[in-house]
Amino acid sequence: MAIAIMTSGGDSAGMNPAIKKFVKIVLERGEVPYLIYDGLEGLIDDNIHEATHETVAGIVHLGGTIIRSSRSKRFFEYDYRKQAFDNLQRRGIDKLMVLGGDGSFKALDIFYKDFGVSFIGVPATIDNDIHGTDYCLGVDTALNVIRTAIDGIRDTAASFKRGFVMEIMGRDCGYLTLMSAMTNGAEVMIIPEIKYDLESIKARLKNEIKNGRRYAVALVAEGVKVAQELTEWMQKEVGMESRLTVLGHVQRGGNPTVYDRRMAFEFVAFGMEKLLNDAQCHHVVVYKDADFDFVTIDFINSGKYEISPELIELTRHLSR
């Protein structure tokens, strides 16, 4: 049996530990592991290579993905999917593991329906926005990268009596922003999930300044698209000289934390057990209520990820 792994969509810390665990499990089972380089594009272009222990030696501590990633419009055309299938057929590969988000899972589900290639999806995106799972690979590392940045910003904010607005990644999901605001002592938080009140925030900040506040850190989720406006607002309305910092793609990099390494190993081990033993596998591994499970692509697509109400209530005051 030959089995391949690929990373698709945005990269996230934890992908390399997952790749290493995949190769180890496949070799221990006496099967042949393959690495698909450059994601769906590499699958189409036949950038597929057999892996050994040496191939994945010394990668656990590396961020990103050694097999690289991509997004592919071509894959949604049947002729290119057929080309990808033929590439797998020549090597006897009939099972795939994909690390990515819901777009990657949809692509592999179409591939399964076309050609019957079994697959297991592992949620890997720092946005943590996949319906059905409480956790995705890369989130903990991203939160620690953001923490380091906030610590640095707070030092200079305090030194100059300034306000700093920081735009945090997450597409339309405010999870990273909320967790960062809660655990790093932000004074203001703007996310899509909570209705914010600038007049109330202004009154609160002005009162705090009157009582000795010298600086303020405001975290804004990129999906709200108000970071620049909020920076100007803090300067004009609150009366605090302010600067904007957009963290951008630095949030996707960095050495995987211990937690992300552990979760990578567990996601892969749990998923591989089903992939190796189920001839008709087309599921995604999820981590829900502190336990691993499998769900279908239809379930993933049936709803939108929602931050827990408990976390929303713990941080709502930062938006007022």
* Residues labelled as active-site residues: 127
First-to-last C-alpha distance (Å) of the chain: 58
Q: Going by C-beta distance under 8 Å and a sequence separation of 6 or more, which residues neighbour residue 274?
A: 120, 281, 283, 294
d(CA 267, CA 263): 6
d(CA 94, CA 92): 6
Closest CA to 84 of 1, 9, 26, 4: 4
- Residues found in the chain: 320
d(CA 35, CA 262): 21
Write out the E strands in 89-193: 93-100, 118-123, 163-168, 188-190
8 A C-beta contact, residue 6 and residue 88 = no
DSSP 255: P
Q: Going by C-beta distance under 8 Å and a sequence separation of 6 or more, which residues neighbour residue 272?
A: 22, 25, 26, 97, 120
Sequence letter at residue 131: H
d(CA 293, CA 247): 33
